[in-house]
Structure 1
């Protein structure tokens, strides 16, 4: 009988209940696969080469931008995942963007992600001390919002060019990485990251803030910097 992870008991729609399982019961082979949770908008899981069930792996949940998909989300770090031994989970939003953005309320995207995490925790050995949520653009805004709300699950938050944050409340003290292009014409840096960074620091979070000369994008070197920040041992 497969043991279930010890999760959070609450009806709060902003809360993720799934938690890593000390004794996961499944077997995973390396590679990219669909989550298999929805026939229309689903998501992807990437298991790195060399994954071992007896060695809990770090995990990053990756969130795409508005109008994107799990393929866009997972592309942020996929090329770096094998070398770092990193599990990547990239859900699709239920609609064109994330619920707090499109519906002004938490709900279906939190529930879908919670189910995907419960499924993953039931089959994969995940290190509870190294769980990050990250994303780009609207996905970065949602990562900040959901990550601070669920800081008792996520140890790190990675936000590439966020526009805002709207946590339901603050739990835990996840470490935060924000990057933003100084020439961004989609989400301009002054009203976005340059406004958010001081608020995050005043709230007592450990923040790594990085600006770069460029547009609304995630340059490869920024993705590498974020991964080195999350996993210093990966080099």
Structure 2
């Protein structure tokens, strides 16, 4: 690698990672009444990134692939900020914010292949507790084999019914791993939602599957085309990778969390643990659920006190109803959480899944 290329990478990588962290903070702490204060707290990392990006020169053709990924990560990050800044200036609403945040997982997807070459990128894709874990970083440094890393199965942007999967680079067929199936929120997709969980799956050792609903959202009413599709996806994964069938978690955000109840309370469900986040629940679900399935079923409910879409009282009532029906319910209420995904809960969910 030429000195000029190294200098450019050293120039642009820190502000890029800092800008991505800022977007993650913004996404986690987004609450409509607090929009201005959250914007003030993240500052202007996009301006620093823009300046660093502008300073990059021409690279030799042999580094075109690396340059393409770095450019894509920068472009998507800056596009996310541009969309949010428009709303900050009064041009747009919450829908425009969500649209802007779609660029964040695209930036992460572009950047992730560089983790094997650049330790700061590898550390970025670990949870905070493991960023200085030298043993883990060394195991990850070998890079993906044909059976590890990120794969997309009929899950291109705009498609429905496919799935994305992450298999830790240190996975081996002779050691069964727990599996997390994470369901996106309404109008989302699995390819984007994968990044809500990847850091923790990579840090703590879990196979992560992020399906995309067959319709515009999960089958919460009418015919259920999603449950058989999830079963198909799970069987596809089990045929290729070694899964610990005693540790199979179904979780999801918002509509995805609600659907984890719908399909996960079925008597034939293969999921051993359920963890709905920011979800809604109708008491009839508990009454209609398979009674024997509910007995002792581990369920971990996470909800925010600031949730404006599904008020927290709903989650409290859900805890009471499921506990009364015999489920083994853990309940986590987060004071500063609105209707967003709290990535900080993932490590706790994996510890719970692993019986720790």
TM-score category of the 2 structures, normalised to the smaller one: 0.7 to 0.9
1:40-71 deviations in whole A, cap 9, x for unaligned?
22220111121111111100111011010003
Aligned: 1:207 with 2:326: no
Whichever of the two has the greater Rg, that structure is: 2
Secondary structure of the residue that 1:50 maps to in structure 2?
A: coil
Secondary structure of the residue that 2:228 maps to in structure 1?
A: helix
Aligned: 1:53 with 2:176: no
Q: What are the ranges of 5 or more consecutive residues in structure 2 without an aligned counterpart?
A: 1-144
Which of the numbers 261, 270, 286 marks the counterpart of 1:144? 261
2:229 is matched with: 112
Verify the 8 A CA contact 1:28 1:124 in the aligned structure 2. no
1:116-157 deviations in whole A, cap 9, x for unaligned?
111111111111110110000000011122111156511110
Q: Which has the higher helix share?
A: 2
Which of the numbers 148, 164, 179 marks the counterpart of 1:44? 164
Q: Higher relative contact order at CA 8 Å, sep ≥6: structure 1 or structure 2? A: 1
Cα 1:28–1:194 shift into 2, 3 Å: farther
Cα RMSD (Å) of the superposition? 2.1
Verify the 8 A CA contact 1:63 1:73 in the aligned structure 2. yes
Following the alignment from structure 2 to structure 1, what is the Cα–Cα distance between the partners of residues 210 and 267?
17
Per-residue deviation, 1:161: 0.9
Q: Which has the higher strand share?
A: 1
Verify the 8 A CA contact 1:37 1:116 in the aligned structure 2. no
Cα 1:48–1:187 shift into 2, 3 Å: same
Cα 1:105–1:196 shift into 2, 3 Å: farther
User: For this pair of structures, how many residues does the alignment match?
Assistant: 203
Which of the numbers 80, 87, 91 marks the counterpart of 2:200? 80
TM-score when normalising by structure 1: 0.79
Verify the 8 A CA contact 1:35 1:116 in the aligned structure 2. no
Cα 1:217–1:109 shift into 2, 3 Å: same
Secondary structure of the residue that 1:40 maps to in structure 2?
A: coil
TM-score when normalising by structure 2: 0.53
Which of the numbers 309, 317, 320 marks the counterpart of 1:198? 320
Secondary structure of the residue that 1:34 maps to in structure 2?
A: strand
2:238 is matched with: 121
Per-residue deviation, 1:196: 0.6
Following the alignment from structure 2 to structure 1, what is the Cα–Cα distance between the partners of residues 267 and 197?
22
Aligned: 1:133 with 2:250: yes
Cα 1:30–1:206 shift into 2, 3 Å: same
